[in-house]
Amino acid sequence: MKTIVFAVAGYNLAETGRHIEIARICKEHFNVIFISYGGKFERLIEEEGFTLKKMEPRLTEKQLHHVRKALSGETLNTVGYFTAEEMQPKIENEINYFKEIKPACVLTGWCQSVMISTRAAGIPFVNVLHSTSITEYYKAGLQT
Confidence of residue 6 (pLDDT cuts 50, 70, 90): very high
Q: What is the dihedral of CA 3, 16, 109, 94, to 10 degrees?
A: -50
pLDDT tens column, 38-78 = 999 999 999 999 999 999 999 999 888 888 777 766 766 65
pTM (2 decimals)? Answer: 0.86
Lowest mean pLDDT among 17-31, 68-82, 99-113: 68-82
Q: Decide if pLDDT at 3 tops 70.
A: yes
Which residues face 53 on adjacent strands? Answer: 35
pLDDT at 75: 66
Question: Which residues are within 8 A (CB) of 58 and not within 5 positions of it... i.e. 6 or more apart?
Answer: 37, 38
Q: Is the pLDDT of residue 138 over 80?
A: no
**Stretch 104-115: mean pLDDT:** 93
Structural domains present in the chain: 3-139 (3.40.50.2000)
Give the per-residue pLDDT at 81.
75
pLDDT at res. 14? 87
Q: How far is CA 108 from the centre of its chain?
A: 4
Residue 7 exposed, middle or buried by CB count within 10 Å (0-12, 13-18, 19+): buried
More confident residue, 98 or 138: 98
Q: What is the mean pLDDT of the chain?
A: 89
